[in-house]
Structure 1
Amino acid sequence: MAISLDKMVGLHQQALKVRNDRMEVISGNLANANTPGYKARDIDFQKAMRTAQSGQASLTQSSMVTTHNNHIKGTSKLQTEAEFRIPNQPDTGDGNTVDVQNERNKFLDAGMRYETSLMLINGKFSGMKKALSPGQ
């Protein structure tokens, strides 16, 4: 009987990807906290996961080009879109909408959720390893 890793981890792999992408966007916000005119962005996790669950429009073909029939075809990947965040603070005069304290809190929250996703996936693999080990 073949074991499907996609079925075993379910949507946890997509959640991990979305959480990683969100942390990259937030770190970009923090890096541009002093850039005039920079608009803070974020990824709506719930929206990205609904798209992943429905299987519609979230998977797109990679744009890899092959030059021979035996080359590996491009695989599909989850697409996440960063949207501009509605600012929580008044304009400081330079047009920048990054609230550093808020971004740090969001980054820490996203990091903890990323770790939780990793622990869930690790638990699934540990359970499978235990089930496959002889004498158990």
Structure 2
Amino acid sequence: MENTYGLLKEALNVSAQRAQLNANNIANVNTPNYKAKRIEFESLLDNALDQQTHLTTTSARHMQAGGGITPQETSRSNTTVKENGNNVDLDVEMLNQAQNGLYYSALTSQLKGRYQMMSYVINH
């Protein structure tokens, strides 16, 4: 259960980082040679969870898998580069902003539900 809270916390942090990065991309829509950036997290999480299911702990001294997933900031390369060398696509950024808002809302709803369930168990 604690691992779930840790994953939710990390996902909320990544969502906040994405919001900041998306705002930076939008603010630099006309900056020459600026390259749009993104944060990679889900594929890293999938890989960590996949590794965790394949590892077996045979001693209490063994390290646990899946801890410390660090989101990676990368330049976006799948958008068209303009004459000034900038590749920020405002439509893509607005879509990413809306998608990230929904992602954040879903995460906070999950966290709220878990806390309500815990509160119910404690109080009843």
TM-score (norm 1): 0.70
Cα-Cα RMSD: 2.1
Where 1:43 maps in the other structure, the secondary structure is strand
What residue ranges of structure 2 are gaps of 5+ in the alignment? 53-64
Structure 1 residue 87 displacement after superposition: 3.5
What count of residue pairs does the alignment treat as equivalent? Answer: 110
**Partner of residue 84, structure 1:** 75
How far, CA to CA, are the matches of 1:44 and 1:7 in structure 2?
20
Query: What is the CA deviation profile of residues 68-125 of structure 1, one whole-angstrom value per residue up to 9, with x for unaligned ones?
Result: xxxxxxxxxx532210111322x32100000001101011101110110011001000
Of residues 33, 48, 62, the one that matches 1:37 is 33
**Partner of residue 47, structure 1:** 43
Letter in 2 for 1:85: R
**Partner of residue 100, structure 2:** 110
Contact 1:15 1:49 in 2 (8 A): no
**Partner of residue 28, structure 1:** 24
Contact 1:87 1:98 in 2 (8 A): no
Structure 1 residue 34 displacement after superposition: 1.0
How far, CA to CA, are the matches of 2:19 and 2:40 in structure 1?
12
**Partner of residue 91, structure 2:** 101
What residue ranges of structure 1 are gaps of 5+ in the alignment? 60-77
**Partner of residue 13, structure 2:** 17
Letter in 2 for 1:87: N
**Partner of residue 62, structure 2:** none
Contact 2:41 2:72 in 1 (8 A): no
Where 2:13 maps in the other structure, the secondary structure is helix
Compare 121-130 and 22-31 and name the one that shifted more: 22-31
Where 1:82 maps in the other structure, the secondary structure is strand
Taking every aligned residue pair, what percent have the same amino acid on both sides? 25
Structure 1 residue 49 displacement after superposition: 2.1
